């Protein structure tokens, strides 16, 4: 059996999972919050791309992509300001319930606009074209997905480790209250975290839906859940961990699909491996133990 096509497509899917997983892990690293609406923001990004391309067919595609990314970032920013910022001092359970509410709000909004019907994602020049690499013929989006994910992850890590804003993010992640006392603008840091996560979700959606071109209100559910699994797999709160977790999960998924006996149970295998990893290493592959203040 030739596993090369499955490995290549697994790396592509893993890169797309990783872009969404980084959004999960960044928000958790700052707020200790699982943003359950993140997968639905991923889906909304695909829907917005469809309607923008259909409404402005003469607009250059690169302009449509930039507008889609800007709208996704705005929605992510608005979610933080409207749903999470007012609950900054509330119990975590209240914030979690708010996140679930935002998730259902986005799904129902898309259902109202689309009538609950699946929509066809537009062809994007270059990345929608088929090419052959190592004997595998597929869309260019498949081959560039892991590269895009790695490049964006490296840029993000450099920003976090070598800029003043990155220092603020690390300070807030280590100790929220102390960072606030030291003059760090907490609200700005949190808002920018959501902005970055939304940008990565938009890029991931563009690559994902180019390869899986049907977008429905449930299209963000499983990719969002698997991206969350990837974040936990790699160590929630670790950006390189989210990248590694996403790639591993994508490769495992495609290899399972290559084995007829495992193909119907692919999702079960993925979650079983997650349970096994957490039993051996509860903090994930690259996670760090944190001391909880009493």
User: Tens digit of pLDDT for each residue in 146-157?
Assistant: 999 999 999 999
Pairing of strands 214-215, 136-139: unpaired
Looking at residue 222, its pLDDT comes to: 87
Tokens of 35: 């943003």
In this structure, what are the phi and psi dihedrals at residue 150, rounded to the nearest 5 degrees? -65, -45
Better-predicted residue by pLDDT, 134 or 10: 10
Q: How many CB atoms lie within 10 A of CB 48?
A: 23
Residue 139 pairs in a beta bridge with 130
Range 198-218 average pLDDT: 92
Report pLDDT digits (tens) over 76-93. 999 999 998 888 888 888
3-state secondary structure of 59: coil
* d(C-alpha 161, C-alpha 167), whole Å: 7
Flag whether pLDDT at 292 surpasses 60.
no
Q: What is the pTM of this model?
A: 0.90
Q: What is the mean pLDDT of the chain?
A: 88
* d(C-alpha 265, C-alpha 261), whole Å: 8
Range 241-257 average pLDDT: 90
Looking at residue 1, its pLDDT comes to: 61
Region class of 16: left (phi > 0), else alpha (psi between -120 and 50), else beta: alpha
Report pLDDT digits (tens) over 264-285. 888 888 888 888 888 888 888 8
Residue 215 pairs in a beta bridge with 119
Q: Where does the pLDDT of residue 294 fall: very low under 50, low under 70, confident under 90, or very high at 90 and above?
A: very low
Judging by beta carbons within 10 Å of its beta carbon (0-12, 13-18, 19+), is residue 260 exposed, middle or buried? Answer: exposed
Report pLDDT digits (tens) over 20-66. 999 888 888 887 888 889 999 999 999 999 999 999 988 999 999 99
* d(C-alpha 284, C-alpha 79), whole Å: 28
125-153: b or e for each residue (b if 16 or more CB lie within 10 Å)?
eebbeeeeeeebebbbbbbbbbebbeebb
Flag whether pLDDT at 257 surpasses 90.
no
């Amino acid at each position: 059996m030739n596993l090369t096509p499955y490995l290549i497509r697994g790396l592509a899917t893993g890169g797309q999972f990783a872009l969404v997983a980084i959004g999960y892990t960044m928000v958790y690293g700052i707020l200790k919050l699982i943003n359950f609406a993140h997968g639905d923001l991923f889906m909304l990004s695909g829907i917005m791309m469809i309607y923008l391309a259909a409404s402005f067919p003469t607009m250059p595609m690169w302009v449509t992509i930039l507008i889609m990314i800007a709208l996704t970032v705005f929605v992510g920013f608005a979610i933080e300001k409207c749903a999470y910022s007012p609950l900054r001092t509330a119990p975590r359970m209240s914030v979690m319930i708010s996140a679930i509410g935002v998730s259902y709000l986005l799904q129902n909004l898309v259902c109202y606009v689309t009538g609950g019907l699946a929509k066809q994602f537009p062809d994007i020049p270059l990345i929608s074209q088929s090419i052959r690499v190592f004997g595998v013929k597929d869309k260019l989006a498949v081959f560039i997905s892991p590269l895009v994910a790695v490049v964006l992850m490296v840029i993000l890590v450099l920003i976090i480790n070598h800029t003043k804003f990155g220092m603020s993010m690390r300070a807030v992640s280590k100790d929220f209250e102390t960072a606030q006392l030291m003059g760090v603008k907490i609200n700005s840091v949190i808002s920018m975290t959501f902005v970055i996560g939304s940008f990565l979700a938009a890029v991931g959606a563009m690559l994902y839906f180019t390869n899986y071109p049907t977008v429905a209100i449930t299209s963000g559910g499983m990719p969002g859940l698997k991206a969350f699994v990837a974040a936990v797999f790699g160590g929630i709160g670790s950006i390189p961990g989210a990248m590694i977790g996403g790639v591993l999960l994508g490769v495992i998924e495609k290899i399972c699909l290559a084995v007829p006996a495992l193909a119907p149970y692919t999702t079960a295998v993925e979650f079983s491996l997650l349970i096994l990893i957490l039993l051996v290493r509860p903090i994930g592959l690259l996670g760090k133990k944190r001391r909880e203040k009493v």
